[in-house]
Amino acid sequence: MSEIMHSNPISLAVWGVPMPVVAGKMFSIKAGAKSGSGHSLAGHRVEVFDATGVVVASGNLGESPLAGTEALYWTAIDVPAPATGQGTEYAVRFIPGQGHDATATRFSVAIADMLEHKLTIKVTEQSTAAALGDVEIRLGPFHARTDAAGHADLRVCKGEYQLHLWRTAHIAQPQPIRIDGDASVALTMAHVPEEHPDARWVR
């Protein structure tokens, strides 16, 4: 039996984790498992553990692999966020059947109070005033990306933040911003040559 189990390891993936999650509310993740031998894992169970090791959510893998993959079976799982705190870690574990190795993976979330305000952002290129799409926006734990028209909306908490923009071959200085209600801001980014040391942002 030991040889059979070790010949078929299971790898786990977790994606679609929102950043941040709202304290005391449910949030949804996607979890998938793939057999090293490519066997179907349809119907197998995955469980989510909180930082204390308690099972807080679970789900069964779907009947078909994720589109674009050969054998990654997946499911969406609703997970409860802690009522307090700034961040926490969860573990996702595959519940093995005969001939499979048990395995686990981890993910972290940032926790925020109720997202009571909306921040609307418009980003254009400094020299041409052209809308800039695919700009990554970071406002503390909140992330968004502009659409083709240069627009993005974020649900955020009240507070003071530094607003950061990133786009390949463009630069912009961080902007301080205070959120105490719904707001809109218009920002610009300067184009820089690809060989410029600031043209690429290293995370």
C-alpha dihedral, 67 to 68 to 69 to 74, nearest 10°: -30
* Weakest mean pLDDT among 5-19, 93-107, 126-140, 147-161: 93-107
**pTM given for the model:** 0.62
Q: What is the pLDDT of residue 67?
A: 92
Asked whether the predicted pLDDT for residue 46 surpasses 80, the reply is yes
Range with the lowest mean pLDDT among 124-128, 139-143, 150-154?
Answer: 139-143
* C-alpha dist (Å) from residue 1 to 30, 39, 95: 31, 17, 17
**Mean pLDDT of all residues in 120-133:** 96
- The answer, yes or no, to whether residue 11 has pLDDT greater than 60, is yes
198 confidence band (pLDDT: 50, 70, 90):
low
Residues 122 and 186 sit within 8 Å (Cβ to Cβ): yes
Please tell me the predicted confidence (pLDDT) of residue 189: 96
Residue bearing tokens 């609307």:
120
Q: Would you place residue 18 in the very low, low, confident or very high pLDDT band (cuts 50, 70, 90)?
A: confident
pLDDT over threshold 50, residue 66: yes
Q: Are 156 and 139 in contact (CB under 8 A)?
A: yes
Q: Would you state the pLDDT for residue 1? A: 31
Please, which contacts does 176-180 make with residues 24 or more away whose CB atoms are closer than 8 Å? 177/119, 177/139, 179/117, 179/119, 180/117
User: Which domains are delineated in the chain?
Assistant: 2-112 (2.60.40.2550), 117-191 (2.60.40.1120)
Min mean pLDDT across 12-16, 40-44, 60-64, 96-100 is at: 96-100
